[in-house]
Amino acid sequence: MTNMFSIVNRKNIDVMCVETHDGVRGSSKAFKKLESKLSTLKQRKFYGVLQGKPDDGIYRACVERVIEDDRFKNDLDKWVIPGGKYARAKIKNWEENTDVIGSTFSEMAHQFQIDGSRPVIEFYRSQKELLLFSPI
């Protein structure tokens, strides 16, 4: 499900988001609300971003601001996913393997010195592939 970790440098990403203070428990509801506000889901890049602990941290369901129309969406929060150095892991068939997301982040925390000032990131690359990023 996951492969070896790699190290990558990411740029800041301008996003629109829906925020919850329920940690990952609130992720599904946040994504539903976010998706309901968009005119289309096609050719969008979606991210789940957690700052803090999984049970009660700040979770943001995010979509990259890439469509011209996005500048005028006043009903969604604007935010920047911070760039920098990250450890990366891939999860294939993630919809069938959501149970390994938390354990993969835990593995990264054991192998790397995590930068707690930046959030962990889930990048939904496709319906088949999820990329996980832990800040280091």
**How large a percentage of the chain has pLDDT more than 70?**
92
For 6-135, which CATH superfamily applies?
Regulatory factor, effector binding domain (3.20.80.10)
Residues with Cβ within 8 Å of residue 24, at least 6 apart in sequence: 50, 54, 55, 57, 59, 102
Single pTM value for the model: 0.91
Asked if residue 71 has pLDDT above 60, the reply is no
Mean pLDDT of the chain: 91
Checking DSSP bridges between strand 58-64 and strand 77-81, what pairing results, if any? unpaired
Domain boundaries, the chain: 6-135
Q: pLDDT at residue 68 above 70?
A: no
39-65 pLDDT per residue, tens: 788 889 999 999 999 999 999 999 998
Q: Using 50, 70 and 90 to split pLDDT, how confident is the model at 88?
A: very high
Q: How many CB atoms lie within 10 A of CB 52?
A: 14
How far apart CA 104 and CA 31 sit, in angstroms, is 21
